[in-house]
Structure 1
Amino acid sequence: MSASVQDSAPRRADAQRNRERILQAARDLVREPGELKLNAVAKACGIGQGTLYRHFPTREDLLAEVYRREVEDLVAEAPRLLEAHPPLDALAAWFDRVAAYARVKRDVFAAIEAATWRDLAAHSLGPIGEAVELLLAAGRSSGSVRPDAEARDVIVLISWLSRLDDAELDARGPRLLSILIDGLRTPRP
């Protein structure tokens, strides 16, 4: 997989806006049936294909960045939620965000080669595990999360979300995540 042309160089404001529009359009379009077409992404953004290719030389580069961004957003949400909510409520709200992440993960991984998605999954596990541990540690510290709860256990339990189709994720996801939250609560004596 090649790197994005402008990964390390500072971007002009208009170039950064184009990049953000490209990523959002790709995130929206990857959910549609069939293969994600770069010309459809460029058309959705109202930019030329040359502009798209300057940011993402290949379809795989674009999809990998969509996934990386989704992981970054998911991980960044954990400390923000802890600032605004008690630990167990923050964890529950974060699980709501995990459901959206699972949809993007499923769609991106379905659209790229197996070797690429294995690499992306391996790199995202650490940051996601750290976000889960941050939330669990706050809950353990406050006494609201059981002391034996481990990040790896939570990751194993939420990993099934990316295997569900949209209808099942909508129908069962919130209830199953609520059951998981109840299982993480400190047991009452």
Structure 2
Amino acid sequence: MRSDARFNRLRILEAAAEVLAAPGDTSLKTIARRAGVGPRTLYRHFPTREFLVLEVYGEEVDELVTAVPALLSTLWPPLALRAWLERLLSVGTRTPEFADAMSGATGVLTDQCRQTYRPLLDALSALVDANEATGTIVPGTTADDILLLLGPLWRVGTDDAECARSGRLFDVLIRGLCPTDGTREVPVAEDVPHVG
């Protein structure tokens, strides 16, 4: 990548981080204007809004990806899946733009966008595979399926009553994905040890 292109990319990412962190208009047009670049330049680097947002939240993505081996080495697979999905849900609840971008992961994506989602999808797939190996997940479940099911939970409100509702719905989701391993039921939230 040429130095001017690299500079433009960094400017766009910095501008996007500022715009997404503030209330108000978070359109790509606003981000381009803040970065001092034209729309074509922005789209050359970031073909979709989802692609740009996931790049902005790269640190959160990295933390989610790197958490999987530790979770699987310390927790029974359904608990590891639950703990990871709780982290993902928390990031999306705090940052609605990230939640919107993750909801796009289940749609039709360009190869470039798929590469951005790939680490998260691979991380979630590793958790699904671990549960398949122990027979603790509904057969045939995919990472894409889980993201699609998780999407509505990001849209539940953030006041106390809505948070309680979100917790109940999350329990329903987990019990539906991992109903039992034949001898144990998947614990409810208060039974899951906190990791990280």
Smaller-chain TM-score bracket: 0.5 to 0.7
For 1:13-66, what per-residue CA distance to the aligned partner results, in whole angstroms no more than 9, with x for missing partners? 98777555333222312xx2x423789879xxxxx94xx124975699794444
Q: 1:180 deviation in Å? A: 2.2
Q: Normalising by the residue count of structure 2, what TM-score does the alignment of the two structures yield?
A: 0.55
**How far apart in 2 are the matches of 1:160 and 1:9?**
41
Q: Which of the numbers 15, 23, 26 marks the counterpart of 1:36?
A: 26
Q: How does 1:37-186 map to 2 (within 5 A)?
A: 49=34, 52-54=35-37, 57=41, 63-69=49-55, 76-85=62-71, 86=75, 87-99=77-89, 100-101=91-92, 103-105=96-98, 121-123=107-109, 127=118, 129-141=121-133, 143=134, 145-146=136-137, 148=139, 150-151=141-142, 152-167=144-159, 170-183=163-176, 184-186=178-180
CA 1:178–1:80 in structure 2 vs 1: closer, same or farther (change >3 Å)? farther
CA 1:53–1:158 in structure 2 vs 1: closer, same or farther (change >3 Å)? same
| Residue type at the aligned position of 1:156 | L
Gaps of 5+ in 1: 1-7, 43-47, 110-116
Identity percentage over the alignment?
Answer: 17
| Residue type at the aligned position of 2:167 | P
How many residue pairs get aligned? The number is 164
- For the aligned residue pairs, the C-alpha RMSD in angstroms reads 4.6
Q: 1:134 deviation in Å? A: 1.7
> Contact (CA 8 Å) 2:12, 2:42: kept in 1 or not?
no
Larger RCO, structures 1/2 (Cα 8 Å, 6+ apart) = 1
User: Match of 1:122, SS?
Assistant: coil
